[in-house]
Structure 1
Amino acid sequence: MKTLRVTLVAAAATALLALAACAPTPVIAPVTKSANDLQGATVELVVGQVLNINTGDLAVDSYTAEVSDPAVAEFTQGREDGSATFNPGFTAKAEGTTEVTMTNEQGGIQPLEFTITVSK
Protein backbone atom coordinates (compact mmCIF):
# COMPACT_ATOMS: atom_id res chain seq x y z
CA MET A 1 0.00 0.00 0.00
CA LYS A 2 2.81 2.39 0.93
CA THR A 3 4.66 1.51 -2.29
CA LEU A 4 1.53 2.29 -4.32
CA ARG A 5 1.23 5.74 -2.71
CA VAL A 6 4.90 6.53 -3.37
CA THR A 7 4.47 5.43 -6.98
CA LEU A 8 1.34 7.57 -7.41
CA VAL A 9 3.02 10.62 -5.86
CA ALA A 10 6.04 10.15 -8.12
CA ALA A 11 3.80 9.80 -11.19
CA ALA A 12 1.87 12.95 -10.24
CA ALA A 13 5.08 14.91 -9.70
CA THR A 14 6.42 13.78 -13.07
CA ALA A 15 3.19 14.82 -14.79
CA LEU A 16 3.28 18.27 -13.15
CA LEU A 17 6.88 18.81 -14.21
CA ALA A 18 6.05 17.77 -17.77
CA LEU A 19 3.13 20.20 -17.89
CA ALA A 20 5.22 23.03 -16.43
CA ALA A 21 7.82 22.52 -19.15
CA CYS A 22 5.08 23.03 -21.76
CA ALA A 23 3.86 26.30 -20.25
CA PRO A 24 4.32 29.16 -22.70
CA THR A 25 6.76 31.95 -21.91
CA PRO A 26 4.83 35.17 -21.35
CA VAL A 27 5.23 37.75 -24.11
CA ILE A 28 6.24 41.23 -23.00
CA ALA A 29 4.59 43.93 -25.08
CA PRO A 30 6.91 46.62 -26.45
CA VAL A 31 6.63 50.24 -25.35
CA THR A 32 6.25 52.66 -28.28
CA LYS A 33 7.20 56.31 -27.89
CA SER A 34 7.52 59.14 -30.38
CA ALA A 35 11.03 60.55 -30.70
CA ASN A 36 9.49 63.98 -29.97
CA ASP A 37 8.28 62.75 -26.55
CA LEU A 38 11.62 61.37 -25.32
CA GLN A 39 13.53 64.58 -24.52
CA GLY A 40 14.16 64.56 -20.74
CA ALA A 41 11.83 61.60 -20.22
CA THR A 42 12.32 58.49 -18.12
CA VAL A 43 11.18 55.30 -19.82
CA GLU A 44 10.47 52.34 -17.55
CA LEU A 45 10.97 48.84 -18.98
CA VAL A 46 11.25 45.32 -17.61
CA VAL A 47 14.08 42.95 -18.53
CA GLY A 48 13.47 41.67 -22.06
CA GLN A 49 11.09 44.49 -23.01
CA VAL A 50 11.70 46.66 -26.07
CA LEU A 51 11.37 50.42 -26.49
CA ASN A 52 10.17 51.06 -30.06
CA ILE A 53 10.80 54.63 -31.25
CA ASN A 54 8.53 56.24 -33.83
CA THR A 55 10.72 58.69 -35.79
CA GLY A 56 7.81 60.46 -37.49
CA ASP A 57 8.85 62.08 -40.77
CA LEU A 58 12.56 61.36 -40.23
CA ALA A 59 14.23 58.31 -41.74
CA VAL A 60 14.28 55.35 -39.33
CA ASP A 61 17.96 54.71 -40.09
CA SER A 62 19.04 58.32 -39.43
CA TYR A 63 19.37 57.89 -35.64
CA THR A 64 22.38 56.61 -33.71
CA ALA A 65 22.65 56.31 -29.95
CA GLU A 66 25.10 56.28 -27.09
CA VAL A 67 24.08 54.29 -24.01
CA SER A 68 25.99 55.08 -20.81
CA ASP A 69 25.55 51.52 -19.46
CA PRO A 70 25.19 49.01 -22.31
CA ALA A 71 24.69 46.21 -19.77
CA VAL A 72 21.28 47.76 -18.94
CA ALA A 73 19.97 48.58 -22.45
CA GLU A 74 21.09 47.90 -26.00
CA PHE A 75 20.37 50.12 -29.03
CA THR A 76 19.07 48.66 -32.29
CA GLN A 77 19.47 50.79 -35.41
CA GLY A 78 16.34 51.39 -37.48
CA ARG A 79 16.33 50.08 -41.04
CA GLU A 80 14.30 49.43 -44.12
CA ASP A 81 14.35 45.92 -45.52
CA GLY A 82 12.43 45.57 -48.76
CA SER A 83 8.83 46.40 -47.95
CA ALA A 84 9.34 46.26 -44.17
CA THR A 85 10.37 49.21 -41.98
CA PHE A 86 11.95 48.64 -38.57
CA ASN A 87 12.03 51.54 -36.10
CA PRO A 88 15.10 52.20 -33.96
CA GLY A 89 14.80 51.10 -30.36
CA PHE A 90 16.31 49.70 -27.21
CA THR A 91 16.16 46.29 -25.58
CA ALA A 92 16.18 46.13 -21.76
CA LYS A 93 19.03 43.75 -20.86
CA ALA A 94 19.41 43.93 -17.07
CA GLU A 95 18.05 45.70 -14.03
CA GLY A 96 19.41 49.23 -13.60
CA THR A 97 19.33 52.76 -14.99
CA THR A 98 21.15 54.18 -17.99
CA GLU A 99 21.34 57.54 -19.71
CA VAL A 100 20.80 57.63 -23.46
CA THR A 101 21.73 60.21 -26.09
CA MET A 102 20.27 59.80 -29.56
CA THR A 103 21.51 61.93 -32.44
CA ASN A 104 20.21 62.33 -35.95
CA GLU A 105 22.56 62.43 -38.93
CA GLN A 106 20.29 64.84 -40.76
CA GLY A 107 21.70 67.66 -38.61
CA GLY A 108 20.01 70.66 -37.10
CA ILE A 109 18.11 68.38 -34.77
CA GLN A 110 18.81 68.62 -31.05
CA PRO A 111 20.15 65.35 -29.55
CA LEU A 112 17.53 63.42 -27.59
CA GLU A 113 18.64 62.82 -24.01
CA PHE A 114 16.57 60.54 -21.81
CA THR A 115 16.79 57.82 -19.15
CA ILE A 116 15.90 54.15 -19.35
CA THR A 117 15.11 52.42 -16.05
CA VAL A 118 14.91 48.62 -16.16
CA SER A 119 13.35 46.44 -13.46
CA LYS A 120 12.70 42.71 -13.21
Structure 2
Amino acid sequence: MMVPQQSVGGLPPVILTPEELNGVTVRLRVGEMLVVPTDLTLAAQTDPLGIVVFEPGRSHGSYTTNPGFIAVGLGTTAVRLSGSGGESVVRFSVIVRRDDPDDQPAGAPVVGTSPPAPKPGHGDSTSGSGDSQ
Protein backbone atom coordinates (compact mmCIF):
# COMPACT_ATOMS: atom_id res chain seq x y z
CA MET A 1 0.00 0.00 0.00
CA MET A 2 1.29 3.44 -0.84
CA VAL A 3 1.31 5.80 2.12
CA PRO A 4 0.44 9.42 1.25
CA GLN A 5 3.32 11.82 1.79
CA GLN A 6 1.50 13.73 4.54
CA SER A 7 1.30 10.62 6.78
CA VAL A 8 5.01 9.79 6.72
CA GLY A 9 6.35 10.62 10.16
CA GLY A 10 2.93 12.00 11.04
CA LEU A 11 -0.09 10.61 12.80
CA PRO A 12 0.03 7.20 14.50
CA PRO A 13 -2.57 4.65 13.34
CA VAL A 14 -5.96 4.36 15.01
CA ILE A 15 -6.34 0.78 16.28
CA LEU A 16 -9.85 -0.56 16.88
CA THR A 17 -10.98 -4.20 17.06
CA PRO A 18 -13.96 -5.46 15.05
CA GLU A 19 -16.00 -5.48 18.26
CA GLU A 20 -15.15 -1.81 18.92
CA LEU A 21 -16.00 -0.85 15.33
CA ASN A 22 -19.38 -2.54 15.04
CA GLY A 23 -22.09 0.10 14.60
CA VAL A 24 -19.96 3.19 15.29
CA THR A 25 -18.62 6.10 13.27
CA VAL A 26 -14.87 6.66 13.29
CA ARG A 27 -13.32 10.07 12.59
CA LEU A 28 -10.06 10.14 10.64
CA ARG A 29 -7.94 12.78 8.96
CA VAL A 30 -6.63 12.44 5.40
CA GLY A 31 -3.51 10.25 5.51
CA GLU A 32 -4.43 8.62 8.82
CA MET A 33 -4.70 4.85 9.10
CA LEU A 34 -7.27 2.66 10.87
CA VAL A 35 -5.85 -0.76 11.81
CA VAL A 36 -8.21 -3.64 12.64
CA PRO A 37 -6.35 -6.25 14.72
CA THR A 38 -7.84 -9.69 14.06
CA ASP A 39 -6.88 -13.26 13.22
CA LEU A 40 -9.66 -13.40 10.60
CA THR A 41 -9.11 -12.96 6.87
CA LEU A 42 -11.26 -9.94 6.03
CA ALA A 43 -12.62 -8.31 2.91
CA ALA A 44 -14.16 -4.83 2.86
CA GLN A 45 -16.79 -2.99 0.89
CA THR A 46 -17.09 0.80 1.11
CA ASP A 47 -19.84 3.07 -0.20
CA PRO A 48 -19.02 5.49 -1.64
CA LEU A 49 -15.57 4.61 -2.92
CA GLY A 50 -12.60 6.99 -2.71
CA ILE A 51 -12.83 7.99 0.96
CA VAL A 52 -10.77 5.13 2.43
CA VAL A 53 -8.65 2.40 0.85
CA PHE A 54 -8.68 -1.09 2.38
CA GLU A 55 -5.49 -3.11 2.75
CA PRO A 56 -6.09 -6.76 3.76
CA GLY A 57 -3.80 -8.25 6.33
CA ARG A 58 -1.31 -10.80 5.08
CA SER A 59 1.57 -12.99 6.06
CA HIS A 60 5.04 -11.78 5.16
CA GLY A 61 6.89 -14.90 6.28
CA SER A 62 8.27 -13.94 9.67
CA TYR A 63 5.45 -11.51 10.50
CA THR A 64 1.79 -10.86 9.69
CA THR A 65 0.15 -7.49 9.15
CA ASN A 66 -3.38 -6.65 10.27
CA PRO A 67 -6.02 -5.44 7.85
CA GLY A 68 -6.68 -1.73 7.81
CA PHE A 69 -7.79 1.39 6.01
CA ILE A 70 -6.06 4.59 4.98
CA ALA A 71 -8.05 7.81 4.64
CA VAL A 72 -7.46 9.17 1.14
CA GLY A 73 -10.37 11.55 0.50
CA LEU A 74 -12.74 13.84 2.35
CA GLY A 75 -16.25 12.66 3.14
CA THR A 76 -18.20 9.89 4.81
CA THR A 77 -18.27 6.24 3.79
CA ALA A 78 -20.15 3.18 5.03
CA VAL A 79 -17.93 0.13 5.56
CA ARG A 80 -18.88 -3.55 5.65
CA LEU A 81 -16.18 -5.97 6.77
CA SER A 82 -16.81 -9.63 6.00
CA GLY A 83 -14.96 -12.87 6.60
CA SER A 84 -13.44 -14.92 3.81
CA GLY A 85 -16.64 -17.02 3.62
CA GLY A 86 -18.76 -13.90 2.99
CA GLU A 87 -20.31 -13.78 6.46
CA SER A 88 -20.89 -10.26 7.73
CA VAL A 89 -18.48 -9.33 10.48
CA VAL A 90 -19.07 -5.64 11.21
CA ARG A 91 -20.60 -2.50 9.73
CA PHE A 92 -19.41 0.99 10.61
CA SER A 93 -18.87 4.44 9.09
CA VAL A 94 -15.78 6.54 8.59
CA ILE A 95 -15.80 10.33 8.42
CA VAL A 96 -12.64 11.79 6.88
CA ARG A 97 -11.96 15.50 7.42
CA ARG A 98 -8.99 17.81 7.21
CA ASP A 99 -9.44 18.73 10.88
CA ASP A 100 -11.93 17.61 13.51
CA PRO A 101 -14.14 20.65 14.23
CA ASP A 102 -15.40 19.05 17.45
CA ASP A 103 -11.84 18.88 18.83
CA GLN A 104 -12.24 15.16 19.49
CA PRO A 105 -9.21 12.99 18.90
CA ALA A 106 -9.09 11.44 15.46
CA GLY A 107 -10.19 7.84 15.59
CA ALA A 108 -12.49 8.48 18.53
CA PRO A 109 -15.63 6.44 17.91
CA VAL A 110 -18.72 8.58 17.76
CA VAL A 111 -21.62 6.60 19.17
CA GLY A 112 -25.24 7.74 19.21
CA THR A 113 -24.62 11.34 18.25
CA SER A 114 -27.66 13.52 17.73
CA PRO A 115 -28.15 16.74 15.83
CA PRO A 116 -27.26 19.95 17.62
CA ALA A 117 -30.10 21.56 19.53
CA PRO A 118 -31.81 24.25 17.47
CA LYS A 119 -31.34 27.85 18.46
CA PRO A 120 -34.38 29.43 20.12
CA GLY A 121 -36.92 30.31 17.48
CA HIS A 122 -35.04 28.32 14.78
CA GLY A 123 -36.64 24.91 14.41
CA ASP A 124 -38.54 22.25 16.23
CA SER A 125 -36.62 20.46 19.00
CA THR A 126 -38.87 17.40 18.69
CA SER A 127 -38.30 16.67 15.02
CA GLY A 128 -36.33 13.57 13.98
CA SER A 129 -33.00 12.25 15.07
CA GLY A 130 -29.81 11.46 13.24
CA ASP A 131 -26.11 11.97 13.14
CA SER A 132 -24.50 15.39 13.05
CA GLN A 133 -21.29 15.60 11.08
Give the TM-score taking structure 2 as reference length.
Answer: 0.63
Q: Is the 8 A contact 2:80 2:88 kept in 1?
A: no
Aligned partner of 1:64 in structure 2 is 43
Aligned partner of 1:14 in structure 2 is none
Q: Distance in 2 between matches of 1:106 and 1:81?
A: 22
Q: Is the 8 A contact 2:25 2:92 kept in 1?
A: yes
2:71 to 89, 92, 96: 92
Structure 1 residues 41-63: Cα deviation after superposition (integer angstroms, max 9, x where no partner):
111100000000011xx33xx10
Query: Which contiguous aligned blocks of 4+ residues in structure 1 show a shift greater than 2 angstroms?
Result: none
1:119 aligns with 2:101: no
Aligned AA for 1:27?
Answer: G
Per-residue deviation, 1:110 = 3.8
Q: Distance in 2 between matches of 1:70 and 1:110?
A: 19
Per mean C-alpha deviation after superposition, the further-off stretch among 98-107 and 31-40 is 98-107
Per-residue deviation, 1:37 = 1.1
TM alignment of 1:74-85, pairs within 5 A: 74-85=53-64
Q: Distance in 1 between matches of 2:9 and 2:88?
A: 38
Please list every run of 5 or more consecutive structure 2 residues that lacks an aligned counterpart in the other structure: 1-7, 99-133
Q: Distance in 1 between matches of 2:79 and 2:93?
A: 6
Q: Distance in 2 between matches of 1:91 and 1:76?
A: 8
1:105 aligns with 2:84: yes
Please list every run of 5 or more consecutive structure 1 residues that lacks an aligned counterpart in the other structure: 1-24
Per-residue deviation, 1:26 = 5.3
TM alignment of 1:12-31, pairs within 5 A: 27-31=10-14
User: Radius of gyration: which is bigger?
Assistant: 1
Aligned AA for 1:102?
Answer: L
Give the TM-score taking structure 1 as reference length.
Answer: 0.70
Aligned AA for 1:80?
Answer: S
TM alignment of 1:24-43, pairs within 5 A: 27-43=10-26
Give the number of aligned pairs.
91
Q: Secondary structure at the match of 1:111?
A: strand
Higher helix share: 1
